[in-house]
Structure 1
Amino acid sequence: MSTSSPATKKCFNCSKLGNLRCSKCKGLCLCGRDCQVATWKSHKHLCKAISRNPNATCLLLDGMGPLGPGEFYAQNVQKSLQYAGVEVAVVNVLKGSKVPEQVGSILSEVEKFSSCIILGWGSGGCDIETEFGNSKIFRDKAVSWVNSGGRFIVQGERPQGYGNWPEWFGKSWESSDYFRTDYACNGKSDNDIHWCKWYHKAKGAVTTTRYNAKTVMLSGVAPEDNLFSTSDDSRSYSLVPMMSGRDIEGGQSAVAVGKYGEGSVSYFGDVNAEDETCDVMAIIARGK
């Protein structure tokens, strides 16, 4: 452990004031060796994942999806992050205990992380989704981190189903239709719809006016937060004839990016980890 004075932080294990931190990840505050030993069994997996890449600026939380950790979504996102020049630390959220509380502490204490991506939250893959949604410590620390400039990015199907995390940031985002369709980008320089004006000029950005993906869309997204949305002429695509050619309501969001304080919160409804979606996610993680 390394010293961090004065002792104004609560020990992660016993809640007494302490002036020590985990020497590897620097993310948990501790009061002494006894608490360090007591915490290590539940902390070691997350700690090693973070300390493995000292240059990481993005924390990728994997394992919530129905297929578990290390599946295609995590692999595709990591490739896009690498292309965008973003170093990443990948954490399997199924290992250890008090993982939401640990992640919250990491975000608030480890200054190098400017973005956090959570894969599969809201897809009904495991109990850890509920743990994250019910953890007041994680909620409070994540909200504070975003308010100070962090970029909070979630991929999933039901954002309001596990703690309703958009509500933490004052967003009324709710699940809507589930189709493959075309989406228009609202971040172009020739309109005043979206606050994210820098997006279309970013390296690796999806620069066409539309992209096609199979997503769980959101309703209730304000125009200025709706980065990729359906338009009045959007139609459904499917190999099943009865599912193809349906009219899609305009203004539904496949990618929502909303301001909160100095940071932002994002939702990605793509369920297939398509290349364009992963590229957009990496650009949002990298930031302006």
Structure 2
Amino acid sequence: MGSHHNNLRNLFVTGVLICVFLGVNVLTPGYWLRANWVSVVVAGFWISQLTLVVTWPALAPRNFSVRLPWSLLLLVFMWYALVIGNRMANRFYNSTTALVLGLILLSGWLFAVIALRIVARVLGWQLLGWNAGQDGDGQLGGRPPFPVRHLLLGTFLLLMAIAPMRLVLPPPGPLPMALYDLRQYIYLAVAAVANLVLAVPCIWAAFAPVRRMPLLGLRWLVTCTLLTGLQYVHFFLFLGPFVPFSLIFTIHLAHCGFVLGTLLIFRGLGCRLVQTSQPADAVGLS
């Protein structure tokens, strides 16, 4: 009875978090157009969602493809919310721009899934749900934490979510001139690598012993400062004074802050990050 109650509570909290993220997506595109510091935090918030959506399947134990449909489902919902928010904030927003946004999100998702999956295999990381069993040697035991029926259900829901896409899309129109600027795509590619490098230690820190968090946070700040400096030099040399140092640093800070905070919530719900670099020697990180 207690286990059933905990599962219902955890599902409720997860649903609330998803609704909060989607609600903020709908309400924040208007702030993005104002080009102030709030828009910088909003950008970090959006990036953090993509990181969280990717983390769940990339760190999955056993066959990670079981979690992919659910991850893509959340990505589709994220795209829907951003498109609706942009339509509310900008009456000239058209379907061409919305499709470009979808391609950017999908490209970022694909890159992050592959890269983070490689990191997980190298480090032996496995992100376990709150109801995953674990036997004495640290390997997953008992029933699979995500049965195959969840794969079928996730795929079905993903197809159902994609079906009404045409109803959400705004009227067609030309691609805005700003999107022809190749500098933006160079920035996105470099930023994707930097964001992933900074997100990996945040994922680890979220499940590390509490006594180690201050030291990990200090190391992360040093790493973030150095990486932001490299990004700034790269942009300045190849793109000109396109993005200031403080803006890049704030985006990284917001991005990793939201990732860390959300994963700490899931840690409180019972999720665990375990390390199984060697089959016979698994070490829990928390």
- Calculate the TM-score normalised by the size of structure 2: 0.25
Whichever structure has more helix as a proportion of its residues is 2
Higher relative contact order (CA 8 A, sep 6+): 2
- Calculate the TM-score normalised by the size of structure 1: 0.25
Whichever structure has more strand as a proportion of its residues is 1
